[in-house]
Amino acid sequence: MRLKDKTALITGAGSGIGRCTALLFAEEGAGVVVNDIDAEGGQKTVEEITQAGGKAYFIQGDVTSSSSVEEMKRIFLKRFDKIDVLFNNAGISNIGALHEVSEKDWDKLMNVNIKGVFLMTKSFIPFMMERKTGSIINMSSCAAEIGLSKRVAYSATKGAVLAMTKAMQVDYAPYQIRVNALLPGTIFTPFVENYLKNAYENVEEALNKIKSRQLSGEIGKPIDAAMAALYLASDESKFMMGSPLYIDGGATFGKDA
């Protein structure tokens, strides 16, 4: 019960890492507010949590729209009187070298992956500031640190999220709010399945290529990232501030020469 009596809001929790984290946080005693743009996925997460005996509530919303985020806040405040953990997890990807990325795709990526973190945090951090407590987890990626082929726009967003994390930490340390980033390597989720299908003709070959990039020789599982998020959400990480937490099977720092 590492999150007993805590309230955690997780964006993009209708799928992949967000869903897995929502289930884990609930198992650890948190009341979980599941956000996603996709109502079906979000409601499924809540059903799974309640069936397992946990507490969860779904709020549909688009993290890129200030009116949608304001509406999320309004609904949130009707039911909850505090927020202990904000996990800015919602994110999308696209494929292409810089000259192949359309302006529309570039803007969409910047909106979801960067503006989403800005709007959600701007809206919910005042409640943490009031109580002088809280943990914010921003979803970055090891793509912020290593050069990956055809991932220029995605890498730019995740680098920005890491930089925001460090700057946010300085501003909110006086309020005893911790802000850290998660940097996963490749974790097998619908997001990666789609990326593989769109980018490669031979999915099996692509999977093997990714596996060989990670010293683990394996692709990560959502639970690997969720366990790291649990650590950042819990008081066990109370001395961790403004830091990147790599959960990448060795992809960032390891090299098998």
Residues 6+ apart with CB under 8 A from 75: 59
Query: x/- site string to ligand NAP, residues 73 to 112, per CB under 6 A?
Result: ----------------xxxx-------------------x
Q: How far is the CB of 225 from ligand NAP (least distance, A)?
A: 7
195 an active-site residue? no
Q: Of 68, 47, 67, 65, whose CA–CA distance to 56 is shortest?
A: 47
Give bridge partners of residue 182 from the DSSP assignment. Answer: 139, 245
The Cα–Cα gap between 208 and 105 comes to: 27
User: Which residues between 156 and 215 bind ligand NAP (CB under 6 A)?
Assistant: 184, 186-187, 189-192
Number of other residues whose CB lies within 10 A of the CB of residue 168? 22
- Among the candidate windows 25-33, 36-44, 126-134, 166-174, which touches ligand NAP by CB under 6 A? 36-44
* Residue 31 within binding range of ligand NAP, rule CB under 6 A: no
HSE-CB of 90 using CA atoms within 13 angstroms = 32
User: Which residues between 50 and 69 bind ligand NAP (CB under 6 A)?
Assistant: 62-64
Q: How far is the CB of 40 from ligand NAP (least distance, A)?
A: 9
User: Which residues between 111 and 130 bind ligand NAP (CB under 6 A)?
Assistant: 112, 116
The Cα–Cα gap between 117 and 127 comes to: 16
Q: Of 92, 27, 97, whose CA–CA distance to 56 is shortest?
A: 27
Give me the catalytic one of 57, 154, 195, 246: 154
Residue among 16 and 134 whose Cβ is closer to ligand NAP: 16
**Catalytic residue numbers, as ranges:** 154
